[in-house]
C-alpha cells in the first residue's frame, strides 16, 4: 500500500510540474506572441506612414502640374483678351476723338 501511495504522490508531483511547465510555456508564448504582434503593428504603421508620405508627394506634384496647366490656360485667355482689346483700340480712339471734336 505504501508503494501505491508513493506512486500516487509522485504522479501528483509530476502533474504539478507539468502544469507549472505548461503555465510557464503559455506565459512565454503569450509574451512572444504579444511582442511579435506589437512589432507587426509598428511595422504596419511605419509602412502606412511611408505610403501616406508618398501619396502626399504625388498629390502635391499633381496639384502643381494642374496649377501650371490652369495658369497657362488663364494666361492664354488673358493674351486673347488683350489682343482683341488692342485690335479695338484704334476704333475706340477714333470714336473718342469724334466725340471730342463734336462737343468742341
pLDDT at 1: 67
* pLDDT tens-digit map of 24-81: 999 999 999 999 999 999 999 999 999 999 999 999 999 999 999 999 999 999 999 9
User: What's the pLDDT score for residue 40?
Assistant: 97
CB crowding 87-97: b at 16 or more within 10 Å, else e: eeeeeeeeeee
- Rounded mean pLDDT of 83-94? 92
3-class secondary-structure state, position 58: helix
**CA separation for the pair 25, 38 (Å, rounded):** 20
- pTM passes above 0.85: no
Amino acid at each position: 500500500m505504501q508503494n501505491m501511495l508513493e506512486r500516487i504522490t509522485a504522479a501528483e508531483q509530476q502533474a504539478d510540474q507539468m502544469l507549472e511547465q505548461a503555465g510557464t510555456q503559455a506565459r512565454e508564448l503569450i509574451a512572444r506572441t504579444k511582442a511579435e504582434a506589437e512589432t507587426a503593428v509598428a511595422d504596419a504603421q511605419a509602412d502606412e506612414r511611408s505610403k501616406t508620405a508618398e501619396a502626399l508627394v504625388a498629390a502635391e506634384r499633381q496639384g502643381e502640374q494642374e496649377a501650371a496647366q490652369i495658369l497657362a490656360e488663364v494666361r492664354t485667355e488673358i493674351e486673347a483678351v488683350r489682343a482683341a482689346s488692342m485690335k479695338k483700340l484704334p476704333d475706340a480712339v477714333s470714336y473718342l476723338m469724334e466725340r471730342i471734336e463734336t462737343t468742341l
